[in-house]
Amino acid sequence: MNIGIRVPWRNLGKHLYTYRLLFDDAPVEVSFKDINEFENEYIVDITSALEDVFSNILSLRIPIDVSHDSERNFELLEKAAYIASETLAENVVVSTRRGDLKEAWLEKIHELMSSYKLRLCFDLSQIPECCEKDLFETLKEMPRGVFKICYNIGKKALEGLSEEEILQDMASILGLLQIIYLSNVDENGLQVPPLSFNGRINMARLLEDIAEEIPSLCLIIDHSISPEQDYRELVRLREFILSLTEKE
């Protein structure tokens, strides 16, 4: 069962022992706050720190906007791919602000990721809703297996989508869907834990509706407060999802 947590890179040094104690074998996604934070760190420092603390890294979330087919972006993707390969992560997560990505640029990225046997997952958090369909159509034209989609439930709740609309949304991209970010917001738009009773989305019911698909997806708790709180949320969600899969 691939359900894990998001770990901000900037928090790792402050809570090194706690992360090692609580999440040694838990699936994790390591995220970088901005491009400078990722670019300025040496590869050896990142890989050493991650290998020292975690044994089950699902993905690296890198603040690269792949809308721009620049040499700098490609070099950063190469760096991310190498780190992912060294730490045995299977996914690199990036963002895009556009849906109509150039075919030649995508082919270049596809070749890079294929050479490392990685998946490149597009985080939809920054793309305008009107451009999402363009991105889906573009990716469907590419060879399958490398390009995938991340879906953030909390972001969709902020956009005003209902649980039914979110389910329809995910069903429409099921072949591309790789990572679901479990996040939730209250009526004021403030982030709350995924299973919170104050959330706009009834996460328990939504997870029940996608129970059959859960084994093939990566679920990431995208609500980092502290390592201890993250651990409690992880245990709670694991137990709930286990109860769903046992019903099948």
pLDDT in tens, 135-148: 888 888 888 889 99
pTM score: 0.91
For 61-89, the DSSP string reads: EEEEETTS--HHHHHHHHHHHHHHHHTT-
Q: Look up residue 143 and give its DSSP letter.
A: P
> At residue 246, does pLDDT exceed 80?
no
Stronger pLDDT, 1 or 41, i.e. the higher one = 41
d(Cα 221, Cα 229) in Å, to the nearest integer? 11
CA distance from start to end of the chain: 14
The three-point CA angle 179-126-111 to 5° equals 60
d(Cα 24, Cα 101) in Å, to the nearest integer? 38
Q: Which domains does the chain have, with CATH numbers?
A: 3-247 (3.20.20.150)
pLDDT in tens, 156-199: 998 889 999 999 989 988 889 999 999 999 999 888 889 988 89
Predicted local distance difference test score (pLDDT) of residue 124: 82
pLDDT in tens, 50-89: 999 999 999 999 988 888 888 999 999 999 999 999 999 9
> At residue 245, does pLDDT exceed 80?
no
CA trace torsion 155, 159, 161, 162 (10° rounding): 80
